[in-house]
Structure 1
Amino acid sequence: MAGIKALISLSFGGAVGLMFLMLGCALPIYNQYWPLFVLFFYILSPIPYCIARRLVDDTDAMSNACKELAIFLTTGIVVSAFGLPIVFARAHLIEWGACALVLTGNTVIFATILGFFLVFGSNDDFSWQQW
């Protein structure tokens, strides 16, 4: 039952984050859809970590180069997702209010992605087979 509550909470978090992103794009005072490019970063951010988890045996407690590279690439993707709206706002492609809404959405979405990996990343209580 805890898995279902976590899944519902993560779905709500994702919906709230996307709502902030859409508000930053579609409100009549902003009306620019350039911030939607951060959707690519949402898709790309979990990929390095997922690949590293498949390639690396998790029996050793010490971190290895593959995991460190995956964390480094994921960090670069997340920082780029936060930097892109700021660059757009400084280039006057979007307004600063839209930038603030997109950055809020980024925070919520990346917290949701992190929460997903914290809840469903360990194979202690449940696995993907029950879903």
Structure 2
Amino acid sequence: MAGIKALVGLSFSGAIGLTFLLLGCALEQYGVYWPLFVLIFYVLSPIPTFISRRLSDDTESSSNACRELAYFLTTGIVVSAFGLPIVLARVNTIQWGACGLVMTGNAVIFLTILGFFVVFGGGDDFSWEQW
């Protein structure tokens, strides 16, 4: 039952994050859809972690080169997702208010992705493989 509650909570927070992103694009005073390119980063961010969990052994050693590389690549993807709206606002492609809404959406979505890995990443009673 705890897995279902966690899944519903993560779905709700993901919907809130996407709402902020769409508000940054679709409000009448902003009206530019360039910030939707951060959706690519949302899709790319969990991929290195999924690959490293498949390739690395299950020992909980203090250092694992495959996981460290995955964390590095994921960090680069997340920083790029936060940097894109700033660059778009800096060159006056989008307004700064839209940039703020997109950054808020980024924070909520990436915390949702992190929550997914925290809740379903451990090998306890349930894991993400069952979904």
* Mapped partners of 2:78, 2:119: distance in 1: 20
Q: Is the 8 A contact 2:121 2:128 kept in 1?
A: no
Percent identity between matched residues is 74
CA shift in 2, pair 1:50/1:128, >3 Å = closer
Equivalence for 1:18 = 18
**TM-score of the pair, normalised by structure 2:** 0.96
Equivalence for 2:53 = 53
User: Mapping of 1:2-17 within 5 angstroms?
Assistant: 2-17=2-17
Equivalence for 2:98 = 98
Equivalence for 2:117 = 117
Deviation at residue 58 of structure 1 after TM alignment: 1.9
* Mapped partners of 1:129, 1:94: distance in 2: 39
* Mapped partners of 1:60, 1:6: distance in 2: 25
* Mapped partners of 1:130, 1:75: distance in 2: 27
> Which 4+ residue blocks in structure 1 deviate beyond 4 angstroms?
none
Q: Please give the per-residue CA displacement for 1:62-85, whole angstroms capped at 9, x wherever unaligned.
A: 221111110000000000000000
**TM-score of the pair, normalised by structure 1:** 0.96
Equivalence for 2:71 = 71
Give ranges in structure 2 of 5+ residues lacking alignment.
none
* Mapped partners of 2:40, 2:9: distance in 1: 23
* Mapped partners of 1:47, 1:60: distance in 2: 21
Q: CA RMSD in A?
A: 1.1
CA shift in 2, pair 1:128/1:61, >3 Å = same
How many residue pairs match? The answer is 131
Equivalence for 1:38 = 38
Deviation at residue 127 of structure 1 after TM alignment: 3.1
Q: Is the 8 A contact 2:13 2:108 kept in 1?
A: yes
Deviation at residue 130 of structure 1 after TM alignment: 4.8
Task: Classify the secondary structure of the residue corresponding to 2:15.
Answer: helix
